[in-house]
Structure 1
Amino acid sequence: MEKYINPSLLFKNVVNILLFSILFICCDSYDEQEEEKSISNSIIHFSPKYEEFEEENQVKEIYLDSLSDFKGLMTRMHETACEGLLSGLIFSDQNQTYKEIGYARCPDFNGVACYMHLHIIEIRNNQIVEYPNKESIDHLKTKLDELQNLNNNITNQWPFFIHYTADPDFPIARIEHVLKRIINELDNITVASSQKNKYFLHFDFHSMVAPPPPPMPLE
């Protein structure tokens, strides 16, 4: 026995699906327009060479507010790196929008990265890591000043290399707060006009700072 389909009910369902699809598209478009409008009305802070890389089409934008945690951020940054592009990290705070270049390696990368002639500071979650100690992000200015004083005693002006790592579920809102603190502190550092980059923001799941060697065995 053939099953009877009510034409009126079928038409109603089709109309509802179409209306829902149109509403979804309109809302999504509205959200993007509102986000772009919010950024266009704010003061934009660019990291070193951001605009140059952007003009050369080497940047893929990542809006941090569209993510929830560090794992989601690293997933997007790894995808971007594997495309041969730099991550343009974008987030806002009050009337300030930050556009920062974030460096990450593609997981398939088999080469050797060289970090010579860099002042390296590792930050995990919201703490500065210096084995065996950890310090609050509030001490970042002191750490930068120490390295800056070292800079003044050598010929080369070395850029700051901020290696950021976090627990996979560390909230993106707290990451934005830490990044804002890092960027604002770095802005207060004066470097030579000939220096190409003032700092690099590098992201990874893994620590970069080696732990101290184990104690010597007792004789």
Structure 2
Amino acid sequence: MRKILYILMPILTFSSCESYLEQKEPEIQKVYSDHFTELRNEENFKIINIDSFQNFKELTSKMGECTCQDLMSGLSFTVNDKKFFLTGFSECPTFNGVACYFRRNTIMIKNDSIVTDLFNKKKVPIEELGTELNDIISKPHNFKYNKQVLKPALIHLYIDENQNINQTKKVLKEIIENFQKINSNQKSNFFEYNILFEDFDRTNFPPPPPPPPLPVESSIKNQ
């Protein structure tokens, strides 16, 4: 009888430990953007797992292919114990037209920084996105005409291909959480946003040349 007990004890101990670990495994929290929730049941909605890519360029290439096929891109990724779901857009590489994005609150992000002044190349860390959003909210002209709702934000996002995909996930996490924080204290659709995943760096374009000098008063009189 003792021999049987000695044999069974390690087995029972291992089984109980295994069961305990299974019970204690934390559940992954899921965070959804409003657009993802609205669109995920559409037939042309395709979910892309960001975790399966090495860098931002690979991701935008895949998203561009979806756009060429008239598919909307839903995105998912995991950071620590949270899984995030959002939408994004990348232009089809064969598109030759001109996209117009008027009446928007424009935000430009390069790598892990927000470009606050395109001409002077001023930047702030992505962790200050909440401050930048509150600055937009504080200005009346950023709201829709005669409405207590902001013009949607268009976020131009570009990340160098030499950056690991974790950089992309870090930025997207900040975007989702900061907009969610603002909208949770307001009525629905208070501040919507769309993310344009760029395949080129807009911040590298040189600023326009300064205007020509005004003619002096004497030369005007002599004309």
Which of 87, 93, 112 pairs up with 2:73?
A: 87
Q: By how many angstroms is 1:54 displaced?
A: 1.6
Please give the alpha-carbon distance, in whole angstroms, between the structure 2 residues aligned to 1:136 and 1:106.
30
In structure 2, the residue matched to 1:134 is: 123
Alignment TM-score, normalising by the size of structure 1: 0.72
Query: Structure 1 residues 204 and 175 mapped into 2: Cα distance closer, same or farther (>3 Å)?
Result: same
Judge conservation of contact 1:48–1:199 (CA < 8 Å) in 2.
no
Percent identity reads 33
How big is the shift at 1:78?
Answer: 0.9
Corresponding residue number in structure 2 for 1:33:
none
User: 1:71: how far off?
Assistant: 1.3
The answer as to whether partners of 1:71 and 1:169 remain within 8 angstroms in 2 is: no
3-state SS in 2 of match to 1:77 = helix
Residue 53 (structure 2) pairs with residue 67 (structure 1): yes
Report how many residues are paired: 180
Alpha carbons of 1:106 and 1:135: their partners in 2 closer, same or farther (altered >3 Å)? same
Show CA shifts across 1:31-58 (max 9, x none): xxxxxxxxxx422211122133221122
* Residue 214 (structure 1) aligned to one of 183, 198, 209: 209
CA deviations on 1:147-180 (whole Å, 9 max, x unpaired) are: 1112477434211111101112221011101111
RMSD of aligned Cα (Å) = 2.6
Tell whether the 8 Å contact from 2:152 to 2:194 is kept in structure 1 after alignment: yes
Structure possessing the higher radius of gyration over alpha carbons: 2
Residues 51-73 of structure 1, C-alpha deviation per residue, up to 9 Å, x if partnerless? 33221122211111111011111
Counterpart for residue 200 of structure 1: 194
Equivalent residue for 2:172, pick from 173, 176, 179: 179
* Counterpart amino acid of residue 193 in structure 2: Y
CA distance in 1, matches of 2:93, 2:128: 32
Which whole-Å CA distance do the structure 2 matches of 1:69 and 1:53 have between them?
26
Instruction: Map Cα deviations across residues 159-217 of structure 1 (whole Å, 9 max, x no partner).
Output: 11111011122210111011111211111223864648711111012245675323457
Q: CA deviation at 1:91?
A: 0.5
List 4+ stretches of structure 1 deviating above 3 A.
151-154, 190-197, 207-212, 215-219
Q: 3-state SS of the aligned residue for 2:124? A: strand
The answer (yes or no) to whether the contact 1:48–1:197 under 8 Å persists in 2 is no
Matches within 5 A, 1:1-219: 41-129=27-115, 130-131=117-118, 132=120, 133-151=122-140, 154=143, 155-156=146-147, 157-190=150-183, 193=187, 195=189, 198-208=192-202, 212-215=207-210
Question: Are 1:63 and 1:90, in contact at CA under 8 Å, matched by a contact in 2?
Answer: yes
**Paired residue secondary structure (2:107):** strand
Structure 1's unaligned 5+ residue stretches are 1-40
